[in-house]
Amino acid sequence: MVVVLMIAEKPSLAQSIAKILSHGKMKSRKGIAKPCHVHEYNDTFRGQPAQFRVTSVCGHVYSLDFQSQYNNWDAVDPVDLFDAEVRRKDANPDQNIYKFLKQEGHGIDYLILWLDCDREGENICFEVIDIIKPAMRNVRGDLNILRAKFSAITDKDIFRAMETLITPNKNEALSVDARQELDLRIGCAFTRFQTKFFQGRYGDLDSSLISYGPCQTPTLGFCVERHDKIKSFEPEKYWKIDVKVRYNNSTFALQWDRVRIFDKNVASMFYEDIKAVTRTRVTKITTNQKSRSRPIALNTVEMLRKASSGLNIGPHHAMAIAERLYIQGYISYPRTETTSYPQNFDFKELLGKLSPHEDLREYVKSIQKNGINNPKKGQDAGDHPPITPMKVASKAELSGDSWRLYDYIVRHFLATIMEDCRFTQTTCMVEIAKEDFTCNGIIVTSPGFLNVMNWLQQDDSQNLPNLDRGAALEIVDVKLSEHQTSPPDYLTESELITLMEKHGIGTDASIPVHINNICERNYVKITGARRLQPTQLGIVLIHGYHKIDSDLALPTMRADVEKQLNLIAMGKADFKAVVKYATDIFRNKFCYFKDSIPNMDQLFEVSFTPLAETGKPFCRCGSCSRYMKLITAKPSRLYCQTCNQTYNLPQNGTMKLYKELKCPIDNFELLLFAANTGTSKPIPLCPACFTKSPYPEMSKNMTCNHCLHPTCPHSMIQNRIIDCQVCNQGTIVLDAPSAPKWRMTCNRCKFFVPLLPNASKVYVKEDDICVCKTSLITIEFKDASPFPDGKKSRSGCLRCDDVFIKLIKMESVIEEQLSRGIPKSSNPGSHGKPSRGRGRKGGRGRGRGRGRGR
């Protein structure tokens, strides 16, 4: 029996595929990767009995980063990043995906890849191949590593994909590798330099990162360009003549053919002449049959545009909803540039599935009865079919934004195969004082597709009476009205998406990400009607780029790079040559930008406040003993004006002094940080150690519960109790700031164990470690004590001492929180290394039997 391993991109997708292919008869088991299950069933594959295993990754297995020596912002010149060696690292180390794939791939005969059918999915295919291929039983070139191509999670599509397996496309994967490497090198170099430069000079930038991105920055540039047009706009007065006439008790307005006049005297002259006339006649009547074309098939960009402008759903959120609907089988694959249905598209079958739709069933039946109109010819981009519904849903199954987006996709699909909207337009022409006027009336004769896209209903508000040439009209009102020209409004998300598509900025999948990034960086804010208004920081950045090198903010360079990446995907350009070409260009531009940064700084000087004038005195500097200022605008930090030194702080929380205690390493006052999550534990830290760790083996952002100082009463070494069994990466330490509600907490995850409340003192016994490797702890009471015989103090092991086991129940707390699953901590130092202690001074202590209390 051969073993076939099939890998999908998400756990829910793997479950859906396995359920379809096994006809619901698969058995599931947990894998060593926390989010991933393995679904197993037996069948045949290529004429042989086979055991199938279906599981998944969780997006990319690897991420790209520099070697560790290049990750120190203070020690590395950003220009070195253009030549620095890059490496792949585990994208989700906590999930054990690498080990999981290695284990499940051991000894298999076939590997079938069910990753998303776009370039990113192709790239993940080769990440999976690199891990599993060495562990396979017998690799025979392209014969037993296969790729499934599908566009929807339906029985028909999945079985068809299984019957038409192909070879993974290495060129498409390489184009993604090239984009990742270029974005990493360019983005990190510019971002590190300008973040350090400007945050070291100004205190009210209100952004944790002054980032640059080859796609992100031109996206911001479009928003600032519109802002500049608004601010530079000078309104101009103009005048219009409005006339109303009556015919057989029906009153309607006439439009002046000149539309408007910018000279008041000339407009007044026309007005006086027209006002003197009381009656006129119709000089000409024209009647035309017109139509409004139904839409072409739906692609990603149009879906995002309509979600923003029509449904008030931002593009990033809309894309997330669409992906969820796709995985649940409600719609086809939502990332596509194609607007033309394939020739073999089965409209009748899909209409049959949609016939029970609670709101649109009558229109579906009408299409089935009257026949399908041939859809308008769109563009075949050669990727995926257009976005369509795949099965009917109800408001009970989907709710909120999910239902609204699904409903729009259904209506758009139906509209593409319905009749055009047909209407009659009547134009009446009138002459008054030798000036020509017209009026139009519209009568919809056949609404066609507008029945389902009712928000686009044709305006037929002005219905003209039955008029003939020569009909007499009574002039009932003439007005001269004053107006002024108005500036354009800020870009809507829909308009920005159109500009990005037009200039080749981003892909259908990445456009929402770039828009979301400029919002999160505080470069723009979303106002009413989902318009993007640049902030002062966003405006100054773009103006600064233009002052130094306009190419950095214009879309032309990125569009050129995208063309090169497309050539890699088509096998027409070499990966290394394209990366070198783009890297060399941006290296030169970076060097010029770095030398010319004073030109941009001139704009920052007049827009933002210097560090020395920002913030309030907060705590003393360990170097000069003068008060440092706390700057609360993002990123929160401390600034010593005397030393001209800035110290990093954790973000998104509150900070206060910790009992005026000082760090024994550098004499800085300790601070207590509490994250804004509401449930987060306060964490003591030294701002100097947090900014730059005194220990080479520790990364920056070190807090006291990671500190290796052997004598400091707040360090991990002094407060370590046991290694955490929940996350298997952190250390459970005594949480001294939690007094009088004492508890132990993990310095990496959110696991905690409540200790005895209202104790007067709790401390870890130095060098006393039980044989079970748990540090002994002492708990003291001043008043009523829960200990036997009313003793005020007790020392022992929390896992072995009978009294502590009964009162604190540590093991049951661990079991309970393991069953619930403990999320990764918001602890700002939780990524530091090492997180675990190994006993004081490297030993295990003397031990005291089984840790019995005393």
Q: Residue 653 corresponds to which tokens in the numbers above?
A: 């929380």
Q: Which residues contact 682 (CB under 8 A, 6 or more apart)?
A: 672, 673, 674, 737, 738
Q: Residue 776 corresponds to which tokens in the numbers above?
A: 């002994």
760 backbone φψ class: left, alpha, beta (φ>0; ψ -120 to 50): alpha
CA distance 575 to 567: 9
Q: Are 147 and 129 in contact (CB under 8 A)?
A: no
Q: Which residues contact 63 (CB under 8 A, 6 or more apart)?
A: 88, 89, 90, 91
In the sheet with 669-675, reading across from the earlier edge strand, the strands are: 653-662, 669-675, 683-685
Distances (CA, A) of 309 to 216, 249, 455, 513: 21, 40, 12, 18
User: What is the residue-wise DSSP string for 249-261?
Assistant: TEEEEEEETT--B
Residue 426 DSSP SS3? strand
Question: Dihedral (C-alpha) 351, 355, 359, 364: value to the nearest 10 degrees?
Answer: 50
349: enclosing H helix or E strand: helix 347-354
Find, among 197, 84, 81, the residue nearest to 595 by Cα: 197
Residue 458 DSSP SS3? coil
CA distance 267 to 159: 72
Q: Are 742 and 759 in contact (CB under 8 A)?
A: yes
CA distance 319 to 306: 12
CA distance 792 to 780: 6
CA distance 375 to 304: 21
Q: Are 621 and 669 in contact (CB under 8 A)?
A: no
Distances (CA, A) of 750 to 410, 730, 790, 829: 43, 10, 33, 13
Residue 499 DSSP SS3? helix
DSSP class of residue 390?
-
- First-last CA distance in the chain: 62
CA distance 526 to 360: 34
Find, among 554, 537, 498, the residue nearest to 214 by Cα: 554
CA distance 808 to 852: 15
Residue 425 dihedral angles phi and psi, to the nearest 5°: -110, 120
Within a 10 A sphere around the Cβ of 191, how many other Cβ atoms?
19
DSSP class of residue 385?
P
179: enclosing H helix or E strand: helix 170-199
Find, among 242, 244, 240, the residue nearest to 476 by Cα: 244
Within a 10 A sphere around the Cβ of 166, how many other Cβ atoms?
11
Q: Are 705 and 733 in contact (CB under 8 A)?
A: yes
What letter represents residue 714's amino acid? Answer: H
Annotated catalytic residue 62: no
Can you state the percent helix, strand and coil of the chain, rounding each to 5? 35, 25, 40
Q: Which of 326, 333, 639, 658 is catalytic?
A: 333
The dihedral of CA 268, 273, 275, 281: what is its sign?
negative
Find, among 223, 201, 846, 177, the residue nearest to 543 by Cα: 223
**CA gyration radius for the chain?**
35
Catalytic residues: 333
